[in-house]
Amino acid sequence: MTAAVQVEELVKRYPKQDRNAVDGLSFTVKPGEIFGLLGPNGAGKSTTIGVLTTRIRLTAGDVRVAGVDVMRDPVAARRRIAVVPQQANLDRELTPRQNLTFHAAYHGVPRIRRDELVGGLLTQFGLAAQADAKLDWYSGGMAQRLMIARAMMHEPAVLFLDEPTTGLDPQARLFLWERVRELRARGVTIVLTTHDLEEASVMADRVGIVDHGRMVAMDTPAGLTRGLAGRSVLDVTMTLADGDEMTGVVVALQTVVGVDRAEPLDSTSVRLALTNEPETLIGPVVTLLAGRSATVTALRSGAPTLEDVFLHLTGDELR
């Protein structure tokens, strides 16, 4: 079976830069899969998507979408893909229906097929009632739904979604996730870039974590968290002594044997990634905090999340 996306040893070096933005990246996405591409800022995700969507010329490597080589035949590649950017780029002079039909016409979809598709997509994305209204009053959620519906008008094999639910409320997010799953059920392959690790773990069949232009891990979300087996987490909520600061507490907790990493969750709580069982850490942690005159008000242990995997692999320094 032809892979929906095939990236082999991709290298991209921007002009006048002394290092590669993408540095020998390889991955494959199967047809009908939702693949999440994750990574810290500057890791090389946008550059990779730019190459896949023919916007950026690669320096070296072999990149194919739906079997088409993006360098050899970018026009054919563009016919097989659709991109939904993070920023709304709808035509506000047009109605939602016109946004869809004009897009399809631009892509050479015959009128009969356009008319067949438009009604179904407006209904699927919950936009049928406003199909002929002015776009001006569209909410962020509606605009995002319309952009995905529009992207589907030329029936792409692969859909690229950049941060699809950033800024949406929980209802809008769930609605969108459901629609994206429906597209997958119809055989559309989805490549998702996101900083929302919950979105990645809920939505993606597989996740690739990129750092410094390389793939540092690739598996199902469950497989990635299993990889941190034995590394449970302990969330500690406390009242600090007057004059004490969370940064100092975090540094101190980092020194406790069995604590792999400590990171502040907010001004009163810290998450500890553990290499030992949580029960064995409660005593030392409470004692250390008591020594700083801090009072522990809540303790919660749990399994690692995709966020823990992400931080474990990419470190916690700011990029």
Binding site for ligand ATP (CB under 6 A): 14, 17, 21, 39, 41-47
- Nearest approach, Cβ of residue 42 and ligand ATP (Å): 4
| E-state strands within 81-183 | 81-84, 158-162
Nearer to ligand ATP, 18 or 136 (CB): 18
* Gap between the Cα atoms of 170 and 66, Å rounded: 33
Q: How many secondary structure helices (H) and strands (E) does the chain include?
A: 11, 14
* Gap between the Cα atoms of 40 and 92, Å rounded: 33
φ, ψ of residue 179 in degrees (nearest 5): -65, -40
- Nearest approach, Cβ of residue 43 and ligand ATP (Å): 4
| E-state strands within the chain | 5-12, 22-29, 34-38, 60-65, 68-69, 81-84, 158-162, 189-193, 206-211, 214-219, 233-239, 259-264, 269-274, 295-302
Nearer to ligand ATP, 43 or 233 (CB): 43
- Nearest approach, Cβ of residue 199 and ligand ATP (Å): 14
Nearer to ligand ATP, 10 or 43 (CB): 43
User: Is 260:274 a contact under the CB 8 Å cutoff?
Assistant: yes
Nearer to ligand ATP, 21 or 259 (CB): 21
User: Is 196:306 a contact under the CB 8 Å cutoff?
Assistant: no
Nearer to ligand ATP, 163 or 219 (CB): 163
User: Is 152:124 a contact under the CB 8 Å cutoff?
Assistant: no
Nearer to ligand ATP, 189 or 194 (CB): 194
